[in-house]
Structure 1
Amino acid sequence: MSVLVVVMITLVVTELGVAQPSNNETTNANTPLGIFCGSNDAMSAAIFFRHLNSTFSQLRSRLSNFGVYYATAQSLESGDAVYGLAQCRNYLLSTECLACFDAAVSAVESCGSANGAHVYLDNCFLNKKDVDVPEICSNESTSQPVTAFSQAVKELLSDIRVATPRTSNFYIASTRQVTSSNATIYAIAQCVENASKAICKNCLSTAYKNLYNCLPSVEGRAINVACFMRYSEFSFFQNNQTINLIHFLGSSIKSDIIIEVSSSAGLVLLILALFLWFRRWRKPKDVEKESQGIRCYCYEDLKLATNNFSEEYLIGKGGFGEVFKAIIDNGIVVAVKKLHDGFRAKKEFENEGNHNSNVRHRNLILQLGWCTDGPELLLVLEYMPQGSLDKLLWGEKKGTLNWRQRSDIILGIARGLVHLHEEFHFKIIHRDIKSSNILLDNDFQPKIADFGLARFIPEDQTHVSTRFAGTMGYTAPEYATRGHLSEKVDTYSFGILALEVISGHSCNDVNYSGLRMEYLLDHAWQLYEKGIHIKLIDEAIDPNEYQEDNLKKIIEIALMCTQL
């Protein structure tokens, strides 16, 4: 059954409607202003609601964490799939964000099993793709001198438009005094965290122009899937929550404005949008195809989404190519794997397409599609925000994983391998299980990636003979020397990987014990034979987080996996 994008949720917490002075404030912040539902129902209402509830629960759990303003979630198991994205304004308390989230979820219930929904509230909105609300203006005009008020608003919005894409979290809150009066203008701008700097900049430029239509109203908001901008004559955040714009407004601010005005960006974007729409309307056979839920993407679309595969979008490199982050289909974040030309790259492309497109499991990376109509072969995969496991074990974020996260990672990898080895009418042997091929989602749940070396083994065969392929250190010596391929090859690699997760050391790290040089596996066996294998655990892990007996058992299982 094909995967269906049921609901794309964007929670943006703010105050819509007419704001009142803080000394006499009455609020209907969580009252729905508009509810819009998709036109088609999900294929299975029972499966849909189970996935919907799971997605909402994941989003709420992530937003409840201190300092978390952005979260994504998805439920992809059999049947209709549900995707969600949530973002709160940075000046809100967690309780305020959750209150709005709960109200929005309650309001969306009126859509039933519709395959898409968005609802606008005073304090937030849930938004499905392809919905645009350019601006919402107050019905009340300012009592301040109109010229001075409008000028102050324009200058403030112009500054935060430039500054926001230059911040680390794409968020700015600031104020500005109106000349010749004591009035203060309050304004914020925010882009979704998964946007690129270029997308944030372009979105806020459009929002800035749309808000011209609100002046001289006392307040206005510009709403887009990728960004949000608001100004008001009344305070809607605390004065101590403002951000100093000077740090983000360099000397290039004036030249940026001149370039944007002189380039007629709006006209260019309009022409580009019409061209893309016309091409899709014609539906040439090599542009978009749907086959068993896997989509054939247009090369030019992916090239545009990655800014011509620029370094800014690069998130990883492999033996046969690079991986880029891209935002497609009005807000869906994906990873685009670009393979270099050549026989080996084409073979890897074929393997990934044939193997990964046939599997659906929460611990296996989801392949969304491919592209073959350009100079490079491209694979489109789901995006994993926490990156690869090796970066958290011994990269820049070394020591940040706690024991609960590590044990979940070990268990998740095991589940994924069981699915590959046991739950099809044929076995899929990955052949390259290693830390850099394990990707993590927002909750640090693992997904096995990179099926470029994978092989099928028919149901009636226990093994096949093949040339060696894999990564030294993770590969069983017997397979490396004899080419005897079975599920035991992945089992051995899993054992090595589990030891890495537990210890925080690479399998190729060298440990000197007296006159002997030991690698991780040798060191683990030495500790086990002395009955002190508990010492293998990463010193960064708090001893209060685990029970020694359980940890020892996991180490013993990992060591057993390396005994073919």
Structure 2
Amino acid sequence: MSTNLVVVVIVLMVIMELGVAQPINKTDNTNTPLKFYCGSNFAMSPETFSRNLNSTFSQLRSQLSNTGVYYARAQNVEDGDAVYGVAMCRNYLLSTDCLACFDVAVPAIAPCGLANGAHVFLDNCLLRFENYDQFYEDPQGSSNIGVLEICGNESTSQPITAFNQSVKELLSDISVATPRTSDFYIASTRQLTSGTNATVYAIAQCVQNASQAVCKNCLNTAYHNLFSNCPPADEGRAINVACFMRYSEFPFFQNNQTINLIPFLGKGSSSKSGMIIGVSSSAGLVLLITALLLWFRWSKFKAAGNDTSDFQGAQCYTYQDLKLATNNFSEEYLIGKGGFGEVFKAIVDGGIVVAVKKLHVGFRAKKEFENEVNLISNVRHRNLILQLGWCIDGPELLLVLEYMSQGSLDKFLWGEQKGTLNWKQRSDIILGIARGLTHLHGEFHVKIIHRDIKSSNILLDNDFQPKIADFGLARFLPEDEAHVSTRFAGTMGYTAPEYATRGHLSEKVDTYSFGIVALEVISGRSCSDVNYSGPRMEYLLDHAWQLYEKGIHIKLIDDAIDPNDYQEENVKKIIEIALMCTQSPASLRPTMCEIYLMLSSEPSLEQRQMLRPTFIAVDRRIQIGGN
């Protein structure tokens, strides 16, 4: 037996199940390993295994370096010593913080030697590898690790009864809500009932490859273990290969990174969640208060000498720096135009490629810009464009956003890359858009309505995953209103009829637009294109409805897609969901959360009575369908 093999056997015998518990800095996110485990078997070839392991770790790190990516998996299977890896970070982290945690996790499992499986838990991340791939779909399948609670070593400084009650309610709520979210993640807070103004902070997260049932069962156990064993400890954690739960009386994420629990608890109240949409006269008082708060915040910002603390995670750039980075905003750097201005490619901070959005100057635009910066600097989701920075000191207002090398979705549907997307890529794009809108409508700490969802506002990353761009149209709405009457600011062809004709704006406007985009993705046609092949001209939505009525809506699919790449029932299901999204009145449309769940479920779809949808063409005088 070789020396290396003897060392491995001894290590495995000594640390087959090792735990590491360290004091945690209560006021900061730390990357101290909480617990790690080594597998019971070892690799056949140390050299091959090490090469596969290092390559897997490298791939995982590369994926996590992309902004908004919190879950990664990779594999290397050379010469039998297969390595399948998963890494996951908490969704409140910046990419740099996620990578910092990953860089601690890798050496933390080094004591496992050549064990062909191991995992380590940290507050900020999880790293796991195995020599089999089944755990991708069933993370708990072959693991003998139960849900382990780790309690703080100090008692709470708050009144014990009130603290226990708040912890119990908060943990119970997030254990119910988390499995119902699009990313299996919740961050929330709860004020103590004692009147002390103290707050309890908590998160829950399941690995994204877990099923909803596994996530639910894991978090239920985590909740019972923490509440039964940890209070009145000032903090506690529950760890498992499928889920993680943590609470503390000390903040470990920003207040404006919380997620609205109400839509996921089945308690049916929207009165507690803010809604960001268009301006109306009935919102005057709220807008006045908002304007005063913004003015006060801006005054503090100026007095502090460009302190960016209000813009968490976003960097303040000087106008001169961005002007140089875009060669004075020259035509050669121009990569797009939107309703608020032009978008330029730039290189900042010594080599980071970004997109700079230049907004046209004006008092109104300035107020919109302030709102936008405050909002989207804290929106972090894998299907939403991340804001990296901003600038307000020059003649134009500028946003610095992550750069999407593939460009916008429309280019791949009817532009220069027409026909290059296969069915798997298209269905993933549709699901990703739904996931992003679900986050905006119900998972962010306030409700955001985009109101200009269209294919040109969907950008694609290197893996052809969609990211929704352009949140500049968001506004505030009083909490007790379901919709407002506002000026039209969307794009004809994608816009819901009640908004285009009467200015009635609600989250169902985004639902309608999503349905139109989904039909575009399936067909490869623009919603504004007219089909003259039949007895009358038909726009895309009208054409899709005609095919659906005849039961032949599978014919809507783009001819460029290989028939061997898809199952007809799955395509027909997505078309039916898209048509469901375009129903009028708006009350007939499902929410984006419901849509996401329908798209994520098995091909069968509950039959619903549907009406012929209404389509407002690019020329507003043309209204097709409806009652």
Q: Give the TM interval when normalised to the shorter protein.
A: 0.5 to 0.7
**How many Å apart are 1:361 and its aligned residue?**
1.4
Q: Which residue of 1 aligns with 2:308?
A: 289
The corresponding residue for 2:454 is 434
Do residues 483 (structure 1) and 469 (structure 2) align?
no
**Contact 2:454-2:494 within 8 A present in 1 as well:** yes
Partners of 2:31 and 2:123 within 8 A in 1: no
**AA paired with 2:393?**
D
2:441 maps to 421
48, 55, 63: which one aligns with 1:58: 63
Report the counterpart of residue 464 of structure 1 in structure 2. Answer: 484
Amino acid at match of 2:308: K
**Superposition pairs for residues 48-447 of structure 1, below 5 Å?**
55-56=60-61, 58=63, 78-82=91-95, 289-291=308-310, 292-343=312-363, 345-346=365-366, 348-447=368-467
Cα distance between partner residues in 2 of 1:545 and 1:352: 41
Percent pairwise identity: 76
SS at match of 1:45: coil
Q: CA deviation at 1:402?
A: 0.9
Deviations 1:309-367 (A, max 9, x none): 22232211223321111222222221111112235543542443243224221111111
**In 1: Cα distance, 2:553 partner to 2:391 partner:** 48
Q: Deviations over 1:22-58 (max 9, x none)?
A: xxxxxxxxxxxxxxxxxx99924279999x8884273
1:46, 1:434 → 2: CA distance?
Answer: 44
Q: 1:78 is matched by which residue type in structure 2? A: N
Distance, in Å, in 2 between the alignment partners of 1:408 and 1:82 is 23
Which residues of structure 1 form unaligned runs of 5+?
1-39, 65-73, 85-104, 116-282
The SS at the match of 2:574 is: helix
Query: Pairwise CA RMSD of aligned residues?
Result: 4.0
Judged with a 3 Å threshold, the aligned counterparts in structure 2 of structure 1 residues 54 and 421 are, in CA distance, closer, same or farther, namely farther
* In 1, Cα distance between equivalents of 2:426 and 2:34: 31
Given that residues 43 and 80 in structure 1 are in contact (C-alpha distance below 8 angstroms), is that contact kept between their aligned partners in structure 2?
A: no
Q: CA deviation at 1:369?
A: 2.0
Deviates more, 1:447-456 or 1:491-500: 447-456
Which AA in structure 1 matches 2:491? T
Distance 1:418 1:522, change over 3 A: same
Q: Secondary structure at the match of 2:493?
A: coil
Report how far residue 446 of structure 1 moved.
0.8
Normalization by structure 2: what TM-score? 0.48
CA distance in 1, matches of 2:423, 2:414: 15
- Look up the match of 1:543: 563
* Distance (Å, rounded) in 2 between the aligned partners of 1:524 and 1:290: 49
Which AA in structure 1 matches 2:458? I
Cα distance in 2 for residues equivalent to 1:49 and 1:399: 48
Tell me if the contact between 1:426 and 1:456 (Cα under 8 Å) persists in the aligned partners: no
How does the TM-score come out when normalised to structure 1? 0.53
Instruction: Quote the Cα distance in structure 2 between the aligned partners of 1:470 and 1:62.
Output: 40
Note if contact 2:30-2:123 (Cα within 8 Å) is conserved in structure 1: no
SS across alignment from 1:539: coil
Match of 1:551, SS? helix
- Is 1:473 the counterpart of 2:493 in the alignment? yes
SS in structure 2 at match of 1:346:
helix
- Identify the residue that residue 127 of structure 1 maps to in structure 2: none
Partners in 1 of 2:397 and 2:106 — Cα distance?
44
How many residue pairs get aligned? The number is: 335
SS in 1 for 2:480: coil
Q: Gapped runs of 5+ residues in structure 2?
A: 1-24, 37-56, 65-71, 77-86, 98-104, 111-119, 125-301, 585-627
Match among 579, 584, 608 for residue 559 of structure 1: 579
Say if 2:523 is the partner of 1:503.
yes
CA 1:503–1:370: 2 relative to 1, 3 Å: same
8 Å contact from structure 2 (residues 531, 537) kept in 1: yes
Structure 1 distance, partners of 2:552, 2:344, is: 44
Quick check: 1:363–1:448 contact (8 Å CA) kept in 2? yes
Evaluate the alpha carbon distance shift between residue 61 and residue 539 of structure 1 in structure 2; reply closer, same or farther with a 3 A threshold.
farther
Give the distance between the partners of 1:416 and 1:338, measured in 2 at CA: 24
Q: Report if the CA contact (8 A) 1:427-1:456 is conserved.
A: no
| Aligned-residue offset at 1:499 | 0.3
Kept after mapping to 2: 8 A contact 1:298/1:373: yes
Shift of 1:79: 3.4
Deviations 1:47-90 (A, max 9, x none): 9999x8884273898999xxxxxxxxx98752333359xxxxxx
What amino acid maps onto 1:310 in structure 2? Answer: S
Once residues 454 and 399 of structure 1 are traced to their aligned partners in structure 2, the CA distance between those partners, rounded to angstroms, is 33
Matched position secondary structure for 1:385: coil
Secondary structure of the structure 1 residue equivalent to 2:432: helix
**Whole-Å separation in 1 of the counterparts to 2:505 and 2:307:** 37
In the alignment, is the contact (CA less than 8 A) between 1:351 and 1:453 conserved in 2? no
Q: Return the alpha-carbon distance in structure 2 between the equivalents of residues 406 and 392 of structure 1.
A: 10
